[in-house]
Structure 1
């Protein structure tokens, strides 16, 4: 059963070729935009790599980079087809290239759609990656003298100030770790000794946070230490007063930032996908409508174009059959089967 059958006059074929040429170049520009968005997202993810536990999320920008480059090549090829589309003598030379072209186009267009779906579906992976990464970042905040962690403090401080956040889930995360290095503790002080002895692991824990958690918009000077001690500060109620710290956790802030970024990129790539699909369908209609003109003296005759000569299932199998046959030929025959084949040959003899 023919799918998408349409009738074309000579004027309609001319308009289709001209419109397709313009659409192909618009889609080429869309491919460049997709590649650029992939580069931007890749850069943003690498900037925060120190607070991410895994690199699964990088599959989104990597896919965008691949489909962006492929889209530019595919649509440039489509624009060249359009230039020769109305020349009955030159158009047949493209015939041998069109089947591989459709195969590549469908594959990369589908991959573009998958990248859009991934950009909306990676929230869980992103959140779990940030949860572990930020936990480790806070844990190693004090290790400014340890190779490989020298800039961990700078990274966390800049992150908290830039995204106006504090801790992993909230500011209380800093109460659970020793974020002040032993290098800056006075071990002759009774208070320091008592705090270390009172902890099972021998850590110096305080109900305080780094300076980068302070909210500059607060009218009150920053209460950075003894946050839960109401008597340590004048006119202060820990449970009721609005703290002059950032109340939002950095995990929430980063998830919102990256998901907003990926959702925006996903919407842009979805638009490119629709244009790319239109180019693919238009090239197919132009090709099939021109096949009837090949060998004809009168190129202005009416012709018919279609998207698929057979049904969708039959067309898919037509493309898959050569690949399946190739895979079957490359399969190694098991020794038992070889022995049986040899025995049957001997019996026949």
Structure 2
């Protein structure tokens, strides 16, 4: 009689959970790269997202292999090949990659606020001269419905558009006017508008009802922090679960055989008790003579 090798139930549920995580990690990372790749690159969170993608790519075939072995009813061999590497090696690499991801997250969290504010301020400074910074700031202000670093007034101190261009027809006569405009500009980029068109100039006189007035720095900082904490939690979960799976599959223990042995021991103990009780039920010779004498008296 052949006994099919079974695996611990935790391995089954953990492999299913990690398979779902791997699919989510791959999909989420690719979406971020395709749609906000420039923001990831400029804010320094692209490495964290890259390690999340790499972890998902390695986890996917590894957990599919584990689930396939469980479905076939065979014991998971840690030395079995996944693509071209042993199973234990793939799990170990997943743990190492997620540890590196945790280190990157912790470093990013530690310097998140300072780095974020400095980068937004640097992008605003070179808004006019460097196209990638202009594209970043415009996308940031459109998507978060914000304006400037701390408020819309931050743009007043930045030379964010070519003010001299409007006075090129008579630069000598308007030299003093241009200088005064440079010193006190009350206009903001169009990406600060609440809708497609608005009044973005002469805000001191006309008011700010048509633009977003809150700054982008604090909003961007909160979004990055939430993202880093979510990545950190995901990395920790993967490390713990993969470590437990590796521990269970390396053990030289067959849970089906162990349960069979326990059942056999239980049956043997019941049989022994039954034999003891049946042997104790046998009548002695003296008891049988008493019974015969009683029968004769009755006759």
1:132-281 matched pairs, under 5 angstroms: 132-143=118-129, 149-150=130-131, 153=134, 155-182=136-163, 184-187=165-168, 188=170, 192-197=174-179, 205-215=184-194, 222=199, 224-225=201-202, 227=204, 232=205, 245-281=211-247
Give the gaps of 5 or more residues in structure 1.
1-9, 144-148, 237-241, 303-349
Deviation at 1:33, TM superposition (A): 1.8
RMSD value, Cα: 4.3
Unaligned runs of 5+ in 2: 263-299
What do the CA deviations read for 1:136-165 (whole angstroms, capped 9, x no partner)?
A: 43233334xxxxx45654553343132111
How many Å separate the matches in 2 of 1:60 and 1:134? 20
Question: Do the aligned residues in 2 keep the contact of 1:195 with 1:205 (CA within 8 Å)?
Answer: no
- Given the two structures, how large is their TM-score scaled by the length of structure 2? 0.64
For residues 261 and 140 of structure 1, do their structure 2 counterparts lie closer, same or farther at Cα, with a shift above 3 Å needed? same
Which of 49, 54, 76 lines up with 1:66 in the alignment? 54
Larger Rg: 2
Tell me, in whole angstroms, the C-alpha distance in 2 between the residues paired with 1:248 and 1:106.
46
Cα separation, 2, equivalents of 1:205 and 1:18: 70
> Does structure 2 retain, via aligned residues, the 8 Å contact 1:63–1:111?
yes
Task: State the distance in 2 between where 1:49 and 1:192 align.
Answer: 43
Give the match for residue 28 of structure 2.
37
Deviation at 1:49, TM superposition (A): 5.7
- Call closer, same or farther: CA 1:151–1:191 in 2, change over 3 Å: farther
Secondary structure of 2:212's aligned partner = coil
CA distance in 1, matches of 2:232, 2:159: 41
Greater RCO, 1 or 2 (C-alpha within 8 Å, sep 6+): 1
For residues 72-91 of structure 1, what are the structure 2 equivalents within 5 Å?
A: 72-82=60-70, 86=74
Whether the 8 Å contact between 2:152 and 2:215 is mirrored in structure 1 is: yes
List per-residue Cα deviations over 1:157-197 (Å, max 9, x = no partner): 34313211111232232122222214632143789521544
Cα offsets for 1:56-104 (capped at 9, x unmatched): x3221111112111212322333354457657xxx7xx46559953344
Q: Answer whether contact 2:8 2:255 (CA < 8 A) is retained.
A: no
Native 8 Å contact 1:167 1:250 kept in 2: yes
How far the C-alpha of 1:225 sits from its partner, in A, is 1.8
Q: Compared with structure 1, are the counterparts of its residues 272 and 36 closer, same or farther at alpha carbon in structure 2 (3 Å cutoff)?
A: farther
* 8 Å Cα contact 1:157/1:212 also seen in 2: yes
Match of 1:209, SS state, is coil
* TM-score, reference length from structure 1: 0.56
Deviations 1:30-55 (A, max 9, x none): 222222233234445523268x3x64
